[in-house]
Amino acid sequence: MTKLTRRKFAALAGAAGFTLVAPACSRNDTEAGYPQRDITFIIPNGPGGNFDSFVRVISPAMQKYLPNEVNIIPLNVPAGGGGKGLADLYRSRPDGYTIGAVNVPGAFTLQEQMGTNSFVLSEMTWLSTIAGGETYAIVVAPDSNIQNVDDLRALSQQRPIKFASTGPEGTSYAAIKVASEILGLDTQIISGYRGSSDYIVATIRGDSDCAVATLSTLRSFLEAGTVRLAASFEPESSIPGVPDATSIGLPELSQIRVERMVAAPPGLPDDIKQVLNAAIDQAVRDPDVVSWAEEVGHKWIPQARGNGDTVMQAQAAFFEKWKSVILS
Amino acid sequence: MLDIWLSGFLGLLEPTALTFLVIGMFVGLAFGAIPGLGGTTALALLIPITYGLEPFAALALAGGVMGAVPMGGSITAILLNTPGTAPNAAACLDGYPLAQQGKGGLAIGASASANALGGIIGTISVLLVIPIAREVVLIFGPPEFFLLAVLGLVVVSTTSRGQMLRSLLAGAFGLMLAFVGYSNVSGVERFTFGNTYLWDGIHLVPALIGLFAIAEMIHLSVKGGSVSHDSKNVKVIGMRQGMMETFNHMGTVVRGSLIGTIVGAVPGVGGTVASFMSYSMTMQASKNPDSFGKGNIQGVIAPEAAINAKDGSMLIPTLAFGIPGSAEMAVFLGLLVLHGMQPGPLMLIDHQVEIYGLIWALTASCVMAAFVGLLLVRPLAMVTLLDVKILVPIVVSVAMVGSYAVDLAIENVILTAIMGGIGYMMIRYDYSRLVLVVALVLGPTAERNYFQSMLISDGSWSIFFERIPSLILFVITISLIVYPIMGALLGRRKKQEGSGASGAGS
């Protein structure tokens, strides 16, 4: 056996020391310059789903505005109705190499159902929203007898109003519950439809009296004349002839919004948060992104940089207030 | 109308579009063949590449992928009893026995021509339906979907002759598996044991890989040898023969294509049901139904024709209203949105040229993939001569990796292993895996649509008889149940009369 010479010992010690220190070195990215490698953008939906296109359009734009040239790679994690994606995001290392898209208030309902073993929304790092959130509108079939909210109230006196919706874990379900409470309607929800297009078509077909959907989703249907709006929950209606939350006298309706948040795992360092917020902010105003939004008909209003915390506080307060109604 | 059809076709002939069509075709063929991957994954991976492309080129790529996937899937289904995609599982039932008899080439040849013909017939049907696409989508609501699901279950369970009890047991087990998971009508979790993975229920593709691929590999390992028992026939490739066989059975092709077109247009029911229903109905219409499952070429032609026909008609609800008929369509929707085309009622008005271009791309890819499949028949059929000791480890590893790749969840692999064990038991004791699969696929659809129908009608069953389409479906279902019973009763009476007469005469 060869003797353990001093030189060999020093080499071994150096190697051991290096392996202990090296991981800490890689965490010190802000000194080296974040980002140093590709960033994963988790989408808790299947490909082609609601949030999917947003992320896929934003990602290449964000890449342009990061300090270093890296790729942002969208990763679909649809399992568990989106719960697994959120759980994966929550448990990832807060090093800026994993971010995720979160649909609120749907995520709150999911959290209630899955328990806080999986993820805790209040602990996550909230970056920004992707453009402004959207309010809802009540949509009816073109030949429906329902013209406005008064008709709905009158009908509600005779029998429960049928709304078509996706499942209880979704945002439209929560929106219907809260809106019914505010408007004072007796409603019955026909749930389980497979997406907003599915339940809008259900309303046209006559399965239900009405449904709620965002104006972006409804644009194509409205322009083709296949649906009509009974009311819009906007503070000021963007469609002539359709009553809005203010004219109905219930401005609270405009607080029912769906927001598209970008989030990171709990404990993300501030400087990395700044870099990401700047990239998102500039991406949202990028001409390619804006023209895409226009082509597809999304209402695209860039918001203040890094508005994640403010929006989430409002959303959390909203959910807390209406929790018992939504979960009933 | 004709000039738009022509514009769509000519748009494809441009070099960029044509290049992407061919690339998509090869990608679809490869992804279709590898179990667990398939069109959904291929499209999802290609979406970022299409980002800078013109919409037409992107659609050519998508059409190329979607048209070729079924052909790729049928190759592994036939040669290795491993369905490349879920709908291809039906081709395993007779395709694999044919491969075992050394007729793998014949089967692939038949599959290729069935693919091509089915695709063409499907395209023609879709072109005829598109003008009334919206009306078609509006006809089918929850009551109709429920009855369609029940019809599907009845069709497959009544076609397993002499094994009615075992089929019913297999179907019941399939239904039990189908109800695991979160129900989004009631908002209740069932049998998930608090596990996030089971929230989505029993994942179909990993379960199928286990039931067919792994089970067969276990079976082979126990048996030993190679897939094909007869090496002589493998050399004498029946490629041309296989192609011709399809023309001998044009009735089967047309029937399969029509079933594929109709079932494909119904969102959520999908390709798996289309192919299995086509298989079952062909078996029922056949003069010797007992030959099915043992290497009847019609058992390959029927499902393969249906699968390609369904590709075109799945576009109907997707394009008319933005309702994706399957996971693949959902990804395709995302691709459309990325390129500024919002599916919905306006799509059929504003983007007609692109839509027809897509349909042409689908058809062209389908036919091209069939040709490529035919060219590769000779080397591919050699796989069946491989010894089990080489084949099994390769297939099991590829299958497991494919199973994992579907959702990037290791639980998929565990599920595949468990279903593999169950599948092997079913092979040993002769229980129908076909019925289990159809029950697994249709169970959730049937349940969800039943509850929705009850919510719509306030609990009254009359909703199933009020609308003409559901009434028609109801009558068809009842007659499918009654007809075989009547036939058996009449047959028995004839036999009694016959033996009574001869007894009296002797």
pLDDT tops 70 at residue A13 = no
CATH number of A125's domain: 3.40.190.150
ipTM exceeding 0.85, yes/no: no
CATH number of A221's domain: 3.40.190.10
- Residue B240 maps to a domain: yes
Does one domain contain both A228 and A144? yes
Q: Is residue B156 within 8 Å of B276, Cβ to Cβ?
A: yes
Check B267 against A78: CB less than 8 A apart. Answer: no
- Residue B252 maps to a domain: yes
CB-based contact, B371 to chain A, within 8 Å: no
Residues 6+ apart with CB under 8 A from A137: A212, A213, A214, A215, A218, A229, A231, A232, A233, A234, A242
pLDDT tops 80 at residue B258 = yes
Does one domain contain both A159 and A206? yes
Does one domain contain both A203 and A161? yes
Does one domain contain both A228 and A157? yes
pLDDT tops 80 at residue B228 = no
Facing residue for A201 by CB, picked from B43, B321, B334? B321
CB-based contact, B504 to chain A, within 8 Å: no
Q: For residue A73, what are its two tokens?
A: 């790679």
Higher pLDDT, A130 or B502: A130
pLDDT digits (tens, 9 = 90+) for B342-373: 777 777 777 888 888 888 888 999 999 988 88
- Residue A295 maps to a domain: yes
- Residue B502 maps to a domain: no
**Of the listed ranges A180-184, A194-198, A207-211, B384-388, the one predicted with least confidence:** B384-388
**Of the listed ranges A22-36, B154-168, B272-286, B488-502, the one predicted with least confidence:** A22-36
Higher pLDDT, B263 or A92: A92
Burial B374-390 (b: 16+ CB within 10 A, else e): beebeebbbbbbbebee
- Residue A19 maps to a domain: no
Chain B closest-CA separation from residue A240 CA (Å) = 21
Work out the pLDDT band at A24, boundaries 50, 70, 90: very low
Work out the pLDDT band at B208, boundaries 50, 70, 90: confident
Does one domain contain both A214 and A280? no
pLDDT digits (tens, 9 = 90+) for B15-43: 888 999 999 999 999 888 877 677 877 88
Chain A closest-CA separation from residue B321 CA (Å) = 6
pLDDT digits (tens, 9 = 90+) for B285-341: 888 877 888 888 899 999 999 998 888 788 888 877 777 777 788 788 778 887 878
Average pLDDT over residues A71-92: 86
Does one domain contain both A120 and A178? no
Facing residue for B196 by CB, picked from A79, A219, A292? A79
Q: Is residue A87 within 8 Å of A57, Cβ to Cβ?
A: no
- Residue B505 maps to a domain: no
Chain A closest-CA separation from residue B329 CA (Å) = 8
Cα of A158 vs its chain's centroid, Å: 37
Helix (H) or strand (E) holding B320: helix B315-321
Does one domain contain both A159 and A97? no
pLDDT digits (tens, 9 = 90+) for A91-143: 999 999 999 999 888 888 888 877 777 889 999 999 999 888 888 999 999 99
Single out the residue in A201, A225, A255 at which a domain terminates. A255
- Residue B501 maps to a domain: no
Facing residue for A118 by CB, picked from B134, B196, B334? B196
How many separate domains does chain A show?
Answer: 2
Check A48 against B324: CB less than 8 A apart. Answer: yes
How many separate domains does chain B show?
Answer: 1
Chain B environment of A46 (Cβ under 8 Å): 327, 330-331
**Of the listed ranges A28-37, A152-161, A302-311, B318-327, the one predicted with least confidence:** A28-37
Site from B50, B144, B315, B342 to mutate, A interface, most A CB atoms within 10 angstroms: B342
Q: How many CA atoms lie within 13 A of B322 on its CB side?
A: 28
The Cβ of residue B466 has, within 10 Å, a number of other Cβ atoms equal to: 11
Chain A environment of B335 (Cβ under 8 Å): 48
Spell out the SS3 assignment of B104-115: HHHHHHHHHHHH
Chain A closest-CA separation from residue B139 CA (Å) = 8
Does one domain contain both A155 and A223? yes
Check A168 against B327: CB less than 8 A apart. Answer: no
pLDDT at A14: 56
Chain B closest-CA separation from residue A290 CA (Å) = 11
Across the strands, what pairs with B181? Answer: B190
Work out the pLDDT band at B503, boundaries 50, 70, 90: very low
- Residue A14 maps to a domain: no
Total residues found in chain A within this entry: 328
**Parent domain of B138:** 2-496
pLDDT digits (tens, 9 = 90+) for B438-451: 888 888 888 888 99
Site from A59, A119, A201, A205 to mutate, B interface, most B CB atoms within 10 angstroms: A201
Single out the residue in A234, A255, A276 at which a domain terminates. A255
Q: Is residue A192 within 8 Å of B448, Cβ to Cβ?
A: yes
Does one domain contain both A241 and A102? no
DSSP A251: G
pLDDT at A11: 57
Check B344 against A224: CB less than 8 A apart. Answer: yes
- Residue A139 maps to a domain: yes
- Residue A23 maps to a domain: no
| A122-126 own/partner pairs: CB under 8 Å, 24+ apart | A122/A316, A123/A90, A123/A266, A124/A89, A124/A90, A124/A263, A124/A264, A124/A265, A124/A266, A125/A94, A125/A263, A125/A264, A125/A265, A125/A266, A125/A267, A125/A268, A125/A273, A125/A308, A126/A261, A126/A263, A126/A308, A126/A309, A126/A311, A126/A312
Does one domain contain both A223 and A273? no
Q: For residue A257, what are its two tokens?
A: 């919004």
Check B322 against A204: CB less than 8 A apart. Answer: no
**How many angstroms separate the CA atoms of A105 and A312, rounded?**
9
**How many angstroms separate the CA atoms of B64 and B84, rounded?**
17
Check B138 against A80: CB less than 8 A apart. Answer: no
Chain A environment of B407 (Cβ under 8 Å): 77-79
**Of the listed ranges A55-69, B75-89, B230-244, B413-427, the one predicted with least confidence:** B230-244
CB-based contact, B187 to chain A, within 8 Å: yes
- A-chain residue closest to B181, CA distance: A80
pLDDT tops 90 at residue A176 = yes
Average pLDDT over residues B256-268: 80
Chain A closest-CA separation from residue B48 CA (Å) = 8
Average pLDDT over residues A264-283: 93
Does one domain contain both A77 and A151? no
Site from A43, A53, A173, A188 to mutate, B interface, most B CB atoms within 10 angstroms: A53
- Residue A104 maps to a domain: yes
pLDDT digits (tens, 9 = 90+) for A180-202: 999 999 999 999 887 888 899 99
* pTM tops 0.95: no
- Residue B504 maps to a domain: no
- Residue B503 maps to a domain: no
The Cβ of residue A237 has, within 10 Å, a number of other Cβ atoms equal to: 20
Does one domain contain both A234 and A139? yes
- Residue A1 maps to a domain: no
- Percent of chain B at pLDDT exceeding 90: 13
pLDDT at A1: 44
- Residue A21 maps to a domain: no
**Parent domain of A124:** 34-132+258-327
**How many angstroms separate the CA atoms of A16 and A5, rounded?**
16
pLDDT at A25: 45
pLDDT tops 90 at residue A276 = yes
Angstrom CA distances, B244 to B307, B309, B375, B393, stand at 20, 20, 15, 35
Single out the residue in A238, A255, A272 at which a domain terminates. A255
pLDDT at B498: 65
Closest-CA residue to B294 (of B100, B122, B151, B143): B100
Average pLDDT over residues A298-320: 88
Check B342 against A162: CB less than 8 A apart. Answer: no
Most confident of A315-324, B145-154, B227-236, B488-497: A315-324
pLDDT at A62: 93
Higher pLDDT, A154 or B482: A154
In chain B, positions 115-174, which contact chain A (CB-CB < 8 Å)? 134, 137-138, 141-142
